Amino acid sequence: MDRPGLYVHVPFCRTKCPYCDFYSVTSLSQVPAWLDALQREVLIYKDRFGTFDSLYLGGGTPTILGSRELTQLMGALFEDFSFTHDPEITIEANPDDITKEKTVLLRDLGFNRISLGVQSLNEKELQFLKRRHSAKQAEEAIEVVQASGYTNLGIDLMYALPGQDESVWMATLRRIVGYNPAHISCYQMTISEGTPFYRMLRHGRIQAPGEERERAFFLLTSAYLEENGYVHYEISNFAREEKTMSRHNIKYWRHVPYLGLGPAAHSFLNGLRWWNLRSVAGYCQALDCGRSPIEDRERLTEEQVWLESLFLGFRTREGIKRNLIEGSPNSGRTLREIQSAGLVTLEGDRIIPTRKGFILADSLPLLFSH
Amino acid sequence: MTQIRNFSIIAHIDHGKSTLADRLIQYTGLVSEREFRDQILDTMDLERERGITIKSQTVTLPYTDRSGQEYDLNLIDTPGHVDFSYEVSRSLASCEGVLLLVDASQGIQAQTLANLYLAMEHDLVIIPVINKIDLPSADVDRVKDEIENELGLDSDQIILCSAKEGTGIEAVFEAIVNRIPSPSGKKDNPLTALIFDADYDLFRGVIISCRVFDGTLGPGVIIRLMSNGAAYRVEEVGCFRLNREPRDRLSAGDVGYVIAGIKTVSDTRVGDTITLDGRPAPTALPGFEEAKPVVFSSIYPIASDDYHSLAEALEKYKLNDAALTYEKDSSAALGQGFRCGFLGLLHLEIVQQRLEREYDQSFIMTVPSVQYRFTLEDGHCISVDNPQYYPDPVVIRGSEEPFIQASILIPERYMGAVMKLCLDRRGENSRFTYPSPGRIEIRFDMPLAEVIVDFYDRLKSVTQGYGSFDYDFIGYRESDLVKLDILVNGEKVDALSIIVHKDRAREWGVRACDRLKDEIPRHQFKIAIQGAIGGKIISRSTVSPFRKDVTAKCYGGDITRKRKLLEKQKKGKKRMKIVGSVMIPQKAFVAILKSKEE
């Protein structure tokens, strides 16, 4: 039985990065109200989700929180929710927040996995991305985390940046592999509507590399990391070994229940998905007045669950169960077609995307839809 | 006593026929300003949009002249397109005179001529009217010359008007009552009434529009349709104001409607003669012909579950359009559908658009075909309008295709371009006349098949809109025909097959492959598109696969947004036809008909 996961959204950043479309604000004065509201939200879901085996503090920038706030937050979570004896407890960290003291604090609060937002080890790229840290700071942060005894370190990187040269990307990747982290996430730059980068793209001030170059970057990245012993277990995720895959993230891809607390957080339980208001003020106000901070919800139909299973499955190395597509018209022929195009392989009763199949994961489900 | 005048307005498209009709109606006070919508007679949306009259509408206008004499002026509207020339001829047969409307800046066009000849065949009084004299580009003197020289009409008889501004309208009325004779015919003779239109009313059934030549009829009498002998009891007769207005009887000379419990318009034939069952006329009125479809195309529902809904829609549509024929058809690629016959390409477009808009159907229409004739080795002769039934080439002894005589009227400077267009379309036996300085009429014998697909659009484009076109059937001629198939990833898409002249096959094949390549979206795998005659590939193109479409992020549990995107794409897929594992969008089936060079 898959246990549920718990997510807490910390919607604060010191500065906004121009590519990011996750919800966060820079007015840190709202932190106390948010923390207050969050503790009220915890009470709403107390006893409703069973025993969690993962906790993930994401953001925003969770490491922006000071020791008092983190302690208060973790105290509330552990008081009102139950966890297994060995939960995976992750915090997303910015290199400029990492000090020896901080890592000790995090360890004392129970965190056993740090996901470090390095993004690049090239100074120019870091400036372009408006990150607050330098390459040197990032490497020091990695060393500090490793020296403080964390074995489960994840490093987040970005590639296929506008104007990026493959050699620059590979230099970053090689250096990171040199540290031998347990987990590496390589996110291809996606320019989303509403971000500063999106406006720059529209005005022609930056240019996306385009389909063919993005594809080349992806294949190169995957090949290089697999040669170096990493398992490419999801489109953007690589793990040193099976047990260092992100236990928490996998739940999203398998329709395992999860509870998301905080503004804009999503939750899923028994076919129902709901999400909170995408506003710190709105979220706090609702909870202060004893109202629910939920913005909207949806009950998934059987067909929606099916479609999600398909597109989520094709994004992971697990693939999909073959019987999922058996009712589709022409499925046999289509399957042969994508098999001979080298996009999937058949393993037992599963259809597994290949490296080339991963980058078509968005459209593979449509081939089998009615 | 009220006198009668029966007349039509004939004009080239866009010369202002509907506007003049509106102005005449308004002048007689039949309709208040408040009720008045521009172009009252064109009721269908499609007509309004394209500015052409498809279904004719008739109206009886009350008019009192300067001397106080009262008249019923029956305006019989006519469809304004070559596809409907038979309908036009029946309307004209119901009149004693016509207003020949000519645009003051465009002058005489091909249809003006064609209409004039029709009117002359029926011995009608012709009243030339120059319209749009208010246009800055109007050249009244030149157009007067054209009318005198090209049409041979007396320039003193010409009336100048601007239907838009309402000038010259009274002169039009005076000409109608003074120059057009009142109808002859006797009330006491056996009944003969000419059906020139039929309409369907949900509650009353078929509403016949007719012109009574001899005799009289009213409610309660039993009428007989002379082409098939079917008899009906008359429920109501009357005349058309803007709505139907019942009367006690219709008598010799009258134009009006008859309701007689007839179920579908297909039970009536335009051109047929109505007589009395108890006292039939010895002979029917001349000129009756069965409407014969000349263009054929199959329609298939996009979603195969919609077959029954499409069948129902066709059945309902057919109630009001006797000219459409259809029967069941089936395709390996597209499933169950219907093979339809149309009077021409415009008729086809009308049916297509009305089924889509008024009956909310979405379907795929295949490449239009004409009816070919094949003589087989065993001596049998067969007609084939559906490429699916193209006979095995080894048993074909001879093949023939229908030819038309095209008449194209253009300013001289476009002659080269038009000659090239016609020769490209296998035009032969060209002849020229010069109706007036600077203008030329080109006549060509051409295969009908070359005209039904985008010929008129091309003509318009190479003559910058100045070319006008009309045609007549001249019969079947021997022709070297082949069947061209289109294969998508090795699978034949039977709905894309066409029968085509051997010399044009390659061009068609290249064009189809090219067009499909643009319309079929990229897939995850390579798609080969081929044109083939028998087993021989004559053209090919490739849709290269897309290779990357994934966006990196799907984290934090916001799966909903991504799924919604997919659901949207999935809807798009519903508008596609799946052949093998390839999705072909509906518009690909249309695109192969369109020229690219526009």
ipTM: 0.86
Summarize the confidence of residues B402-421 as an average pLDDT.
91
Domain presence at residue B290: no
Put simply, the answer to whether B556 touches A358 (Cβ < 8 Å) is no
pLDDT > 80? residue B548: no
- Spatial distance between the Cα atoms of B129 and A121, rounded to a whole number of angstroms: 84
The dihedral of CA A118, A120, A121, A124: what is its sign?
negative
- Spatial distance between the Cα atoms of A321 and B129, rounded to a whole number of angstroms: 77
Task: Of A166, A156, A157, A158, give the one whose Cα is nearest residue A213.
Answer: A166
CA dist list (Å): B272 to B208, B211, B227, B249, B504:
11, 11, 6, 20, 41
Q: Does B552 touch chain A (CB under 8 A)?
A: yes
| B241 CB-side CA count, 13 A | 12
A119 neighbourhood in chain B, CB within 8 Å: none
Please give the distance of CA B48 from its chain centroid, rounded to a whole number. Answer: 15
pLDDT confidence of residue A224: 97
CATH number at A313 reads 1.10.10.10
Q: 3-state class of A355 per DSSP?
A: helix
CATH number at A20 reads 3.20.20.70
Range of the domain at A357: 302-368
Q: Does B559 touch chain A (CB under 8 A)?
A: yes
pLDDT confidence of residue B475: 92
At B5-14, the pLDDT tens digits run 999 998 877 7
Domain presence at residue A333: yes
| B119 CB-side CA count, 13 A | 26
Domain presence at residue B286: no
Domain presence at residue B570: yes
CA distance A40 to chain B (A): 21
Does B75 share its domain with B44?
yes
Put simply, the answer to whether A362 touches B550 (Cβ < 8 Å) is yes
Domain count, chain B: 5
List the single best residue of B334, B489, B559 to mutate versus A (max A Cβ within 10 A).
Answer: B559
Put simply, the answer to whether B554 touches A315 (Cβ < 8 Å) is yes
Put simply, the answer to whether A329 touches B578 (Cβ < 8 Å) is yes
pLDDT confidence of residue A97: 96
The kind and range of the H/E element at A347 are strand A344-347
Domain presence at residue A263: no
- Note down pLDDT in tens along chain A; length 370 residues: 589 999 999 999 999 999 998 999 999 999 999 999 999 999 999 888 999 999 999 989 999 999 999 999 999 999 999 999 999 999 999 999 999 999 999 999 999 999 999 999 999 999 999 999 999 999 999 999 999 989 999 999 999 999 999 999 999 999 999 999 999 999 999 888 889 999 999 999 999 898 889 999 999 999 999 999 999 999 999 999 999 999 999 999 999 999 999 999 999 998 999 999 999 999 999 999 988 999 999 999 999 999 999 989 999 999 999 999 988 877 888 898 889 889 999 999 999 999 999 988 888 888 887 6
pLDDT > 70? residue B388: yes
Between positions 577 and 596 of B, the ones with CB within 8 A of A are 578, 580-581
Domain presence at residue A277: no
The span from the first CA to the last CA of chain B, in angstroms, equals 59
* Exposure b/e, B25-52, CB count within 10 A at least 16 = b: bbebebbeeeeeeebbbbebebbeebeb
List the single best residue of B305, B525, B544, B548 to mutate versus A (max A Cβ within 10 A).
Answer: B548
- Spatial distance between the Cα atoms of B4 and B150, rounded to a whole number of angstroms: 31
Task: Of A262, A258, A17, give the one whose Cα is nearest residue A133.
Answer: A17
Put simply, the answer to whether A275 touches B560 (Cβ < 8 Å) is yes
CATH number at B253 reads 2.40.30.10
- Spatial distance between the Cα atoms of A49 and A288, rounded to a whole number of angstroms: 23
The kind and range of the H/E element at B570 are helix B559-574
pLDDT confidence of residue B344: 81
pLDDT confidence of residue A255: 92
Put simply, the answer to whether A236 touches B553 (Cβ < 8 Å) is yes
CA distance B547 to chain A (A): 7
Range of the domain at B405: 372-479
User: By CA distance, what is B577's nearest residue in A?
Assistant: A370
Confirm whether pTM is higher than 0.95. no
Confidence category of residue B40, pLDDT binned at 50, 70, 90: low
Confidence category of residue B54, pLDDT binned at 50, 70, 90: very low
Task: Show Cβ contacts of residue A83 under 8 Å, excluding neighbours closer than 6 positions.
Answer: A51, A52, A53, A55
- Spatial distance between the Cα atoms of B315 and B495, rounded to a whole number of angstroms: 23
- The rounded mean pLDDT for chain B is 86
Instruction: Enter the tokens of residue B404.
Output: 């038309």
User: By CA distance, what is A344's nearest residue in B?
Assistant: B524
Domain presence at residue B284: no
Task: Show Cβ contacts of residue A336 under 8 Å, excluding neighbours closer than 6 positions.
Answer: none
pLDDT confidence of residue B382: 94
Domain presence at residue B288: no
Does B442 share its domain with B468?
yes
Q: What share of chain B is helix, strand, coil (3-state, %, to 5)?
A: 30, 35, 35
Does A179 share its domain with A115?
yes
Domain presence at residue A185: yes
Put simply, the answer to whether B557 touches A333 (Cβ < 8 Å) is no
Q: Does B32 touch chain A (CB under 8 A)?
A: no
Residue that is last in its domain, among A190, A222, A253: A253
Taking CB atoms and an 8 Å cut-off, how many pairs form between chains A and B? 117
Domain presence at residue B155: yes
Q: Does B490 touch chain A (CB under 8 A)?
A: no
pLDDT > 50? residue B52: no
Put simply, the answer to whether A307 touches B550 (Cβ < 8 Å) is no
- Spatial distance between the Cα atoms of B27 and B53, rounded to a whole number of angstroms: 21
Domain count, chain A: 2
Does B155 share its domain with B16?
yes
Domain presence at residue B283: no
Name the residue among A266, A275, A359 with its Cβ closest to that of B548: A359
Does B380 share its domain with B449?
yes
Share of chain B above pLDDT 90, in %: 46
At B84-138, the pLDDT tens digits run 777 888 889 999 999 999 999 988 887 777 778 778 888 899 999 999 999 888 8
B578 neighbourhood in chain A, CB within 8 Å: 329-330
pLDDT confidence of residue A102: 96
User: By CA distance, what is A60's nearest residue in B?
Assistant: B556
pLDDT > 60? residue B209: yes
Does A43 share its domain with A104?
yes
Does A316 share its domain with A240?
no
Task: Show Cβ contacts of residue B142 under 8 Å, excluding neighbours closer than 6 positions.
Answer: B107
pLDDT confidence of residue A249: 92
Does A42 share its domain with A160?
yes
Q: Does B563 touch chain A (CB under 8 A)?
A: yes
pLDDT confidence of residue B459: 87
Summarize the confidence of residues B185-198 as an average pLDDT.
92
CATH number at B103 reads 3.40.50.300
Q: 3-state class of A269 per DSSP?
A: strand
Please give the distance of CA B4 from its chain centroid, rounded to a whole number. Answer: 31
Between B466 and A229, the more confident residue is: A229
A330 neighbourhood in chain B, CB within 8 Å: 578, 580-581
Does A88 share its domain with A222?
yes
DSSP label at A30? G
CA distance B483 to chain A (A): 28
CATH number at B360 reads 3.30.70.870
Q: What share of chain A is helix, strand, coil (3-state, %, to 5)?
A: 40, 25, 35
Contact A293, A282 (CB under 8 A): yes
Domain presence at residue A236: yes
Between A264 and B201, the more confident residue is: A264
Does B45 share its domain with B159?
yes
Instruction: Enter the tokens of residue B14.
Output: 């866009």
Put simply, the answer to whether B548 touches A218 (Cβ < 8 Å) is yes
Domain presence at residue B241: yes
pLDDT confidence of residue B349: 83
Does A236 share its domain with A328?
no
CA distance B397 to chain A (A): 41
